[in-house]
Copies of this chain bind each other. A is one copy, B any other.
Amino acid sequence: MTPVRKLVLLGTGLIGGSFALALKRARLVEHVVGVGRNQANLARALDLNVIDSASQSAAEAARGADLVLLATPVGQMGALMAEIAPVLADDCIVTDGGSTKQDVAALYREHLGERLAQCVPGHPIAGSELSGAAAAQYGLFEGRRVVLTPLPETAVDAVARIRALWLACGADVFEMSAAEHDGVFAAVSHVPHLLSFAYMNALLDKADVGTCLDFAATGFRDFTRIAGSHPDMWRDISLANSGAVLNDLRANLGALQTLISLIESGDADALTAYIGRASKARTDWGSRGRKP
């Protein structure tokens, strides 16, 4: 495979940095430019050889690049696309790591409408509480999944190129439509986060919340880990994917009402069946033996 000559990371954090490191290890990139707002983070990325040069200007960095990875929060991607649009080379592929895809597809369409054949929307499934270039690691994508959601206009060659690069990072690569992606991730990622936020809010409204938190143990710890996530990021995701998210939140409202009725009625058998259905499905999922 031909190495990438000049990879530009718009956003030099965990995802962008780990992508660069994995391609370096595979000898599939010659030069990596890191772009970001945070000077200290860029300096650290240079020190750690995550990037080979740093820039404050997306347009300047993108000039002459053959691959641009947008790896910022989705909220910043539109402005960055607009900035790089005038300077993009004809052979440059633009991809991203955004965790919602219908809204990012709309951004590509708005800002890079003349270059959609070169645009490959994507989502590497490798979250972490860690962030910043210092958290980047060679093996982050090893055994992880990457979902590509090509636009109707995206060139087959561009998709194949991005697929091959992610495979070289050790990831399994899948394709689906942006709508299907957003439905699936609403169900297994966005809604669990939102339910965890709602639970914490209900707990905080209790008069004895202090005592409750004193006695919270491992079940609480794991159930609420994702409630510690970044508010701005999750506000953006909730609003960007509001259709699928609201659909699933309403289904959860219904499930909760069913459960309340079962406990109110004291119907032990029905309650056992209800809990048993959940427990079996979760246990089956956990015993699949692949890295979640």
Of the residues B195, B250, B279, contact of A228 by C-beta under 8 Å: B279
Q: Are B187 and A217 in contact (CB under 8 A)?
A: no
Interface stretch (choices A62-70, A90-98, A159-167, A262-270)? A262-270
Residues A260 and B266 in contact in the complex (CB < 8 Å), given A201-B274, A230-B279? no
Q: Are B192 and A199 in contact (CB under 8 A)?
A: yes
Could you say which interface size class chain A belongs to?
Answer: 35 or more
Contacts from A to B (Cβ < 8 Å): 125-127, 145, 147, 174, 180, 183-185, 187-189, 191-206, 208, 211-213, 215-232, 234-235, 238-239, 242, 245-246, 248-260, 263-264, 266, 268, 271-272, 274-279, 281-283, 285-286, 292
Do B204 and A281 touch (CB < 8 A)? yes
The residues of B that contact A286 with a CB separation of less than 8 Å are 221, 228
Which 6 pairs, one residue from A and one from B, show the smallest C-beta to C-beta distance? A200-B278, A231-B276, A202-B255, A188-B216, A197-B278, A228-B282
Q: B184, B249, B252: which contacts A263 (Cβ < 8 A)?
A: B249
> How often does this chain occur in the complex, in copies?
2
A147 to chain B: which residues have CB within 8 Å?
215
Q: Give, as a whole number of angstroms, the nearest-CB distance from A21 to chain B.
A: 20
Flag if A275 contacts B188 (CB, 8 Å).
no
Whole-angstrom distance between the Cβ of A9 and the nearest chain B Cβ: 23
Give the chain B neighbours of A249 by CB distance below 8 A: 256, 259-260, 263
- Assuming the A-B contacts A224-B282, A263-B242, A266-B242, are A274 and B192 also in contact, with contact meaning beta carbons closer than 8 angstroms in the complex? no
A135: shortest Cβ distance to chain B, in Å? 15
